[in-house]
């Protein structure tokens, strides 16, 4: 059974409508999968092992409560997320106090926890600002590339990754992340590190999209083309928020994309009713969208 998981490091018990949209879309497109949100426990100030209060806290949040009641394949796992790094090379960052020196602790913990979870449990990791449009069970041992122009070759993102548990690349990546960690650089455990680790592990200088790449320890990784996850990239972020979307962009996303990573979704950008983001939300996360636009919000998601 497919595992799809998300990581939320702030410790807030109430999801935003957009976060809920990402989770709902994954659950709706993959009804037989286990959808798990791993979220930080320590921000709650609850007594240890107080599971009853922990559970009740989520149900005080309307959108979280509705999702849990209507989608039977969603589970929220409340943990001290740094403990996910135990028994992995990334534990070194906690043991040495490196995480405590981080200026971007929530970002760094998220980047680390997703890799540790993939290595321990296997499955598909998704950022919470993704809208899933198709089943994801065919994804395995894969990352996605992004088209950022001829001067930025082999750009990858760590917002979508799918790996079998124990894949040797993930173990190498975790060791590389420890070496690459910079407490004042918020992406030091992110895409650059992922790309460079792949260069070393697979003995390559480029990552050819739409190909299997043979790597160390008789392992292989499939390099997804940009349209799989990032058909509309960061440089075209405005496309998601225009009052009227271009039908060509709708067709672009529905031609070969498993999902769309919505750049700018977490930064308060307004998505008017006729925008591409709003239309995707209306179709793929109707429960979250309806709740977000109810009560005189003029349809703005």
Domain boundaries, the chain: 3-294
Widest CA span in the chain? 57
Looking at residue 46, its pLDDT comes to: 41
Looking at residue 47, its pLDDT comes to: 42
- Which tokens is 45 given? 């100030």
- Please report, in tens digits, the pLDDT of each residue of the chain (301 residues total): 899 999 999 888 788 999 999 999 999 999 999 999 999 987 544 444 444 444 445 556 888 888 888 899 999 999 999 999 999 999 999 999 888 899 999 999 999 999 999 999 999 999 999 999 999 999 999 999 998 765 556 689 999 999 999 999 999 999 999 999 999 998 999 999 999 999 999 999 999 999 999 999 999 999 999 999 999 999 999 999 999 999 999 999 999 999 999 999 987 789 999 999 999 999 999 999 999 988 655 556 7
Looking at residue 59, its pLDDT comes to: 52
Looking at residue 57, its pLDDT comes to: 53
Q: How far is CA 78 from the centre of its chain?
A: 17
Cα–Cα dist 228/93, whole Å? 32
Looking at residue 63, its pLDDT comes to: 85
User: 3-state DSSP call for residue 49?
Assistant: coil
- Which tokens is 165 given? 């548990």
Looking at residue 150, its pLDDT comes to: 57
CATH number of 3-294: 3.90.550
Whole-prediction pTM value? Answer: 0.92
For helices 17-29 and 276-284, the axis angle rounded to 10 degrees is: 50
On whether the CB atoms of residues 90 and 116 are closer than 8 A, the answer is yes
Burial of residue 98 (CB within 10 Å: 0-12, 13-18, 19+) is middle
């Amino acid at each position: 059974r497919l595992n799809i998981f998300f990581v939320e490091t702030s410790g807030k018990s109430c999801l935003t409508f957009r976060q809920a949209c990402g989770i709902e879309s994954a659950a709706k497109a993959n009804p037989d999968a286990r959808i798990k949100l791993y979220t930080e426990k320590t921000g709650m100030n609850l007594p240890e092992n107080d599971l009853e209060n922990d559970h009740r806290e989520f149900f005080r949040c309307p959108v979280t409560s509705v999702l849990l009641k209507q989608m039977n394949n969603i589970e929220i796992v409340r943990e001290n997320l740094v403990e996910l790094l135990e028994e992995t090379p990334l534990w070194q960052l906690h043991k040495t106090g490196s995480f405590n020196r981080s200026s971007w602790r929530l970002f760094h913990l998220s980047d680390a926890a997703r890799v540790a979870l993939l290595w321990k449990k296997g499955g598909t990791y998704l950022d919470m600002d993704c809208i899933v449009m198709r089943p994801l069970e065919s994804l395995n041992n894969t990352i996605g590339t992004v088209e950022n122009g001829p001067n930025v070759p082999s750009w990858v993102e760590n917002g979508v990754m799918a790996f079998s548990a124990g894949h040797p690349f993930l173990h190498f990546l975790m060791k590389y992340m420890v070496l690459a960690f910079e407490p004042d650089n918020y992406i030091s455990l992110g895409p650059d590190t992922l790309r460079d680790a792949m260069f070393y592990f697979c003995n390559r200088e480029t990552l050819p999209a739409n190909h299997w790449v043979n790597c160390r320890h008789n392992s292989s990784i499939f390099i997804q083309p940009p349209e799989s996850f990032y058909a509309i990239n960061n440089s075209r972020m405005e496309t998601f928020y225009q009052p009227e979307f271009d039908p060509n962009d709708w067709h672009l996303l529905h031609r070969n994309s498993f999902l769309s990573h919505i750049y700018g979704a977490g930064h308060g950008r307004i998505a008017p009713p006729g925008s591409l983001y709003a239309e995707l939300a209306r179709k793929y996360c109707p429960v979250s969208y309806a709740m977000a636009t109810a009560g005189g919000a003029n349809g703005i998601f």
